[in-house]
Structure 1
């Protein structure tokens, strides 16, 4: 991808009434799966048909910290039912969840917005990268980087993400406001805080029974307005 970094005003997603909404065919089973998970707060391991014994349980991946930077975008292809619902949108959808990488003296972290999963907390969370990537949750992990990102911009992204910790998950998948987040929205807004627009309305899909259009995690790659580099794959 050879496009130039797009740097715009922070409010890249105005009122939904003014949006040019992208369309994507989404079957009823997918819609119902998404709404079941998020409206009832059911965690993937609690859903009917989820695996009771996982041969990948508690296997961890290792990452070279020297190759990673604040603000890198971490994609995850999940193994649970919710992930399969997201992935069932089509063959071009490869990742089902996304977060932001942060580095600190005590290791590598991912800040991401996640729904209720059993006793696991929901909302905007800070989780160790090794736990975010544990093999019973992740079939695959990929790290992408926005090219030509300055250190100042990285710090804006970092501060914004940290300031959202503890905010609730948005089961309505709305792009307006910053009181609640879903995973893709958190990444988009963090970059907007640095004056960078990751995607436009071509990344949106309209899901039945949801008022606002939704931006799936993998559309940050597929519809990126900026140049991204693939840093790591596990």
Structure 2
């Protein structure tokens, strides 16, 4: 019964990622509620928490933390889970019933999460990658980076296609972030005249730098 819980958790993680894409915020406890509700008490919350811990320590899932209003001193830890393999992410999100566009968006975001995770403590602050919320407009930013190179704030918006994000533009306008990276699946790249916003092909996520304040 204890090993059977893992498949339920994989499904739960996929569901929370899909819900986030539809605009609903998730907490780690929401994952426990999904599994607990599905099994009508067959699994205890203690068992679920132990299973989550095992999956994290085994490097099967990882977590992201939430920055409130892009404040690096106001961080809520363990607020979203990601898979540590994009193939597994694709499999379970598709199995949960997501459409093709949603799957592409989640897999793209998961890919960037893994890129940022590899850079934690090297040139990115925090114990895990951060995403951010902006209470002023009730918006959400895919990823927020506090650079350990130039100590500027970077907003990262991930798009499987070629669309742009409204929240990241407002955060830049309001001075909450200093630079913006759009990581898009359908682009040849480019940057604005003021060099504050850069568009980069998604597959080059590992190549973006966080030293623009020193240029």
TM-score between the two structures when normalised by the length of structure 1: 0.28
Which protein has greater RCO, CA pairs closer than 8 Å, 6+ apart? 1
Instruction: Name the one with the larger strand percent.
Output: 2
